[in-house]
Amino acid sequence: MKEKNKEAAVQPDSPLRPKSKKGLGFYLRDWRLWLLLLPAVIYVFIFSYIPMYGVQIAFRDYTAKAGIWGSKWVGMKHFIRFFNFPNFKLYMENTLRLGIYGLSMFPVSIIFALMLNEVRSVKFKKAVQMISYMPYFLSTVVVCSMILLFFDENKGFVNTIIEFLGGQRIDFLTRPEFFDDIYVLSNTWQIMGFGAIIYVAALSNVPTELVEAARIDGASRLQIIWHIYLPSIMPTIIIMLIFSCGGILSASHEKILLLQNSLNLSASQVISTYTYKIGIQSGQFSYATAIGLFNNIVNVIILAIVNTIAKKTSEISIW
């Protein structure tokens, strides 16, 4: 009788119960879920992992005739060439400046999500969400065409407003000092609504009891946002910030190329556009691969540093 009571006292989830070994049967039990995951795994393996073997051309003098394995191994030759490139410093400065400027816009989606969360009218909230999501689904070509039309010196409505207010028309697209603002702010406008989705979802999981208790205690809306909503979504914010820092050197070469002209090159020429011109237009595949590999390595290092800092300060990290 005592033995039976002792066994009953040890619950299935109790730490006193010995852990069962996860054998093959444990995984085969959910074979349908693994089957659903299989297409995504195959896709990532084919298009993300298999191409990695071609990265070695960054260390070779690649020619299409000799192939990857037949091309001569030259080691760090192409990396040294890039580091000694006269415009290396300029391209790095432009890339970092655009990346840091873009990173400074990171809180915009959070603020927008918090504002949406405070809207009480369901219909109005859905309408604002739908309108704010739409720019994300516009192609880069369409967005750049809109920018060229809006900021045109002769017919653009931005210059029309400036002239109406007593100012002089400005050719924004040929002035290097305006390129950063046009590029970053247009990016922010395009991704603000879509980027807020994850924060709106996180805010929906905040317990309503906490909010109601704060209101009963006399807390204002700003106090509720600061002391309840922000701490609740802070893990999500930190994870998204880490990912954003990991792409600080990944400026969109498509958009930059469409907005680029001979007069704003001093501000618009970045590493990604130089890689495109060297690799696709000039056919220097090994040199372009070396530049791209260097760019990715720097991004990974920044990602690791930010992740380490986040882990030590907040115990939240991606690994």
The H or E element containing residue 61 is strand 60-61
| CATH number for the domain that contains residue 93 | 1.10.3720.10
Q: How confident is the model at residue 22 (pLDDT cuts 50, 70, 90)?
A: low
The reply to whether 173 falls in a domain is yes
The reply to whether 29 falls in a domain is no
Give this prediction's pTM: 0.83
The reply to whether 144 falls in a domain is yes
The reply to whether 163 falls in a domain is yes
**Contact between residue 228 and residue 206 where contact means Cβ atoms under 8 Å apart:** yes
The reply to whether 217 falls in a domain is yes
Strand partners, 61: 72
Q: What's the confidence (pLDDT) of residue 7?
A: 46
The reply to whether 64 falls in a domain is no
Res 317 pLDDT > 70: yes
pLDDT in tens, 79-117: 999 999 999 999 999 999 999 999 999 999 999 999 999
pLDDT in tens, 88-97: 999 999 999 9
Structural domain range at position 173: 79-314
Neighbours of 289 (CB within 10 A): 22
Write down the mean pLDDT value for the chain.
89
What the block records as the tokens of 9 is: 């006292």
Total domain count for the chain? 1
The reply to whether 34 falls in a domain is no
The reply to whether 70 falls in a domain is no
